[in-house]
Structure 1
Amino acid sequence: MTIYPVETGNFKLDGGAMFGVVPKSIWNRTNPADSNNMIDIAARSLLIQDGNRLILIDSGMGNKQSEKFFSYYYRWGDHTLDNSLKELGFHRDDVTDVFMTHLHFDHCGGSIQWNNDRTGYEPAFKNARFWTNQAHWEWATNPNAREKASFLKENLLPMQESGQLHFVKRNDTPFLEKSELGFGILFVDGHTEKQMLPHIKYKGKNIVFVADLIPTVGHIPLPYVIGYDTRPLLTLDEKAKFLDNTVESNSLLFFEHDAYNQLCTLKHTEKGVRLDELFSFNEIFKPQ
């Protein structure tokens, strides 16, 4: 198995929305805002090469939305999914599986693209299976008013119409479930219904793709819960258990949304679980 971090593009989000009830005077120290109160955000995926499978975890925003849509998110930098794959020696057509932690547009938008004559949409990975879970699919395709703007039908329905949509099977394991893709999955419900966090054993270490449970290093302290969460009190409970387990298992957190930090370890302190050390992916897992 070989794992690669994949940068799909950077954007900005409102700092207040990203930190909920935490005052700006505190979160601005770790995630400094610009004059519009926007903070830098990444859309970072993981690519897993394992035998004859090439698995992409999340696919970023994509590029099919309107200029007006993208104007809300202040895209910046030069990263694109296609260029990142090319730098690694891959093409979209090589991808066999796209695993989506959840179906908000910044996590799955890159899975669907315009067709050649821009009359409709088609899968951006023509040889891949798209993985979600049935409970989350039903939640996303019949969205509540709070999340409706994040669940875009043009990102979702083409997966089903193409026949490439698959559901991860669930069992009764209370914490970590082994998936069909070869890695463990933790299901969490505070941010959205049945968000899935992959746990991957790699070169003797456990990597946790934390998605929107802990978007950036600045979100590690327990009360730092994003304002987008549908059930913030549930997030607190899920996050408390997760942070303790991460320290006890000596796991590495892989950040999808931290524009400047890829991996970290955690430690127990008198104030609770806090950041221990920061690493780039290549510092821990030197490329061959």
Structure 2
Amino acid sequence: MKLYPINAGNFKLDGGAMFGVVPKSLWQKTNPADANNMIDIAARCLLIEDGDRLTLIDTGMGNKQSDKFFGYYHLWGDDSIDKSLKQYGFHRDDITDVFLTHLHFDHSGGAIQWNKDRTGYEPAFKNAHYWSNENHWQWATQPNRREQASFLKENLLPMEESGQLKFTALPKGDLLKQSELGFDIFFADGHTEKQMIPLIQYQGNTIAFMADLLPTAGHLPLPYVMGYDTRPLLTLDEKEKFLNLAADQNFYLFLEHDAHNQIITVQHTEKGVRLKDVFTAEDMFK
């Protein structure tokens, strides 16, 4: 097995929204804001090469939305999925599976693209199965009013219409062992219904792709919960359970949204689970 970080692009989000009720005087110590209160955010995806299977976890925003839409998110840098894939000798047509942790636009937008004459949409990975789960799919395609701006029909319906959509099994508890993709999945409901956190076994270590359960290293303290989360009290419990497990078993936490820290480990302290070490994906996966 080989792992590759795939940078789908960078953007900015309001720091207050990213940290909920936590005062700026606290969160800006780890996530400094610009003059408009915006903080740096990454869309760092993960590519798993395992035999003949090439699985991409999440896809970033994509590029099919309007300039007005992207204007809200202050894109920066020149990273893209195609550029990152090419760096490692791959093309999007090589991808066999696209695993979507959840279907918010900043995780699933890159899964769908305009067709050639821009009259409609098509899968951006024409040879891939697209993986979600049945509970989250229903949640996303019949969205509540709080999340409906994050679940865009043009990102979702073409997956189903193409026949490329598949659902993982659902666990009896919160952990699905040896999913159809070959890795364990931790299910979390605080951010959105049935968000999926992949746990990948790599060279004797567990790599956890943290998605929005832990957006950045600055979110390690339990009360540091995003304003975007639909059930923040549940996020508190899920974070506590997962971070205790990560500290006990020395998981390597792959951070999708932290623009400046790629992979971290955590440890128990008298203040709770806190940052231990920081690694680059280049060093971790070489």
Q: How does 1:25-40 map to 2 (within 5 A)?
A: 25-40=25-40
Distance 1:171 1:228 in 2: 25
Q: How does 1:108-123 map to 2 (within 5 A)?
A: 108-123=108-123
Aligned equivalent of 1:277 = 277
Distance 1:24 1:46 in 2: 30
Between the two proteins, the alignment pairs up a number of residues equal to 286
Q: How does 1:15-94 map to 2 (within 5 A)?
A: 15-94=15-94
1:184-203, CA deviations, whole angstroms, 9 ceiling, x for partnerless residues?
Answer: 00000000000000000001
Give the partner amino acid of 2:248: E
8 Å contact kept, 2:132–2:166: yes
Q: Which consecutive unaligned segments of at least 5 residues does structure 2 have?
A: none
8 Å contact kept, 1:170–1:177: no
Report whether the alignment pairs 1:99 with 2:87.
no
1:217-264, CA deviations, whole angstroms, 9 ceiling, x for partnerless residues?
Answer: 100111100000000000001111011000111100000000011101
Determine what percentage of the aligned residue pairs are the same residue.
69
> CA 1:71 to 1:245, structure 2 compared with 1: closer, same or farther past 3 Å?
same
8 Å contact kept, 2:262–2:281: yes
Distance 2:259 2:42 in 1: 4
TM-score normalised according to structure 2 size? 0.99
Give the partner amino acid of 1:180: E
Moved more, 15-24 or 276-285: 276-285
> CA 1:108 to 1:115, structure 2 compared with 1: closer, same or farther past 3 Å?
same
Report whether the alignment pairs 1:266 with 2:266.
yes
Once the two structures are TM-superposed, the CA of residue 173 in structure 1 deviates from its matched residue by 4.8
Q: CA RMSD, aligned part only?
A: 0.8
Give the partner amino acid of 2:214: I
Distance 1:194 1:200 in 2: 18
Aligned equivalent of 1:235 = 235
TM-score normalised according to structure 1 size? 0.98
Q: Which consecutive unaligned segments of at least 5 residues does structure 1 have?
A: none
Distance 1:33 1:23 in 2: 13
* DSSP-derived class of the 1:214 partner: coil
Give the partner amino acid of 1:226: M
Distance 1:94 1:254 in 2: 23
